Structure 1
Amino acid sequence: MNVTINGTAHELPRGATVRQAVQKLTGVSGGVAVAVNDEVVSRGAWDSTALVEADRVEVLTAVQGG
């Protein structure tokens, strides 16, 4: 299925979860926040939140600095 992650089209297997999308994009899970179709998904729901065709996923990674 096709989903948009941070504005770029990605092919994911049908039934892929938010956690799988995050791992595909970043390879990490710490310091990351996710929204699907403009709704924040709590970290505890990443494994149970399945993505569907044409979902829009935003993955934000915290960075240190000042």
Structure 2
Amino acid sequence: MNIIINDEPHVFVAPLTLTALLAQLAHSHSGTALAVNQQIVPRDRWDTHLLQEGDSLVIFQAIAGG
């Protein structure tokens, strides 16, 4: 399955949830927000949201500052 993550193409084996994707990328959940096809996906749906062929994913990381 081809997915675009932060404007870079990646290939994964389906089925794949957002939680499983973050685990494969070794990305921490803390301070992370995800948008799939320009729609923010609430954290409580990451375990059940299945990615589809051609999805575009943006991973946002919160940064402290002022």
The answer to whether structure 1 residue 55 and structure 2 residue 55 are counterparts is: yes
On the 8 A contact 1:5/1:58 being kept in 2, the answer is yes
Q: TM (normalized to structure 1)?
A: 0.88
Q: 1:34 to 1:51 in 2, by over 3 A?
A: same
Q: Secondary structure at the match of 1:33?
A: strand
Q: Secondary structure at the match of 2:27?
A: coil
Moved more, 4-13 or 24-33: 24-33
Q: Deviations over 1:15-54 (max 9, x none)?
A: 1011122333452001000010011100000010000100
Paired residue type of 1:35: A
Give structure 2 stretches of 5+ with no counterpart.
none
Paired residue type of 1:23: A
CA RMSD of aligned residues (A): 1.4
Distance between the aligned counterparts of 2:64 and 2:43, measured in 1? 20
Paired residue type of 1:43: R
On the 8 A contact 1:34/1:57 being kept in 2, the answer is yes
Give structure 1 stretches of 5+ with no counterpart.
none
- Corresponding residue number in structure 2 for 1:14: 14
Q: Secondary structure at the match of 1:13?
A: coil
How many residue pairs get aligned? The number is: 66
